[in-house]
Amino acid sequence: MADTQQAETPADAAAGTQADKRTGKHAARLAKQIRAFAASHGGSAEGQLAHIGRGRTRIALVGANGEWGNLVADSFDAAKDAATLAGLTLQDDFDGDLAARVRTGPYEWSRMAGLQLGGPANG
């Protein structure tokens, strides 16, 4: 059996370059949002990346003051690039120390119970 490889055509190379440019722009926008989140929540933040389906990746953020938020990236590569550009410290899991720093307020507690305990209605 011969080992064959298909040569990349100029069209393939151009498509790859365009995708890389889109990923780079998306990562730069996300990095700007991550830096803004960190600046407004104690000056720093940590995060965790999680695949959420259809190629998308969630960037969970926890600020130094315990406030938290989420961003969604179009790909894992864009999420990782954004975290690197923003200087975000990434954790492997959203548990332990990272989860312990999350501060929740009355809104989150009422939403956790949902409608069963008189929490705000969905939409």
pLDDT in tens, the chain (123 residues): 445 444 555 555 555 688 788 888 999 999 999 999 999 999 999 999 999 999 999 999 999 999 999 999 999 999 999 999 999 999 999 888 899 999 887 777 776 665 555 555 544
Beta strand spans in the chain (E): 45-53, 56-63, 68-73, 89-90
* Pair 45, 38: CB distance under 8 Å: yes
- In the chain, the amino acid numbered 38 is A
Which has the closest alpha carbon to 75: 20, 37, 122? 20
Query: Other C-beta atoms within 10 Å of 89: how many?
Result: 12
pLDDT for position 57: 96
Quickly count: other Cβ atoms within 10 Å of residue 76's Cβ. 14
CA distance 86 to 41: 15
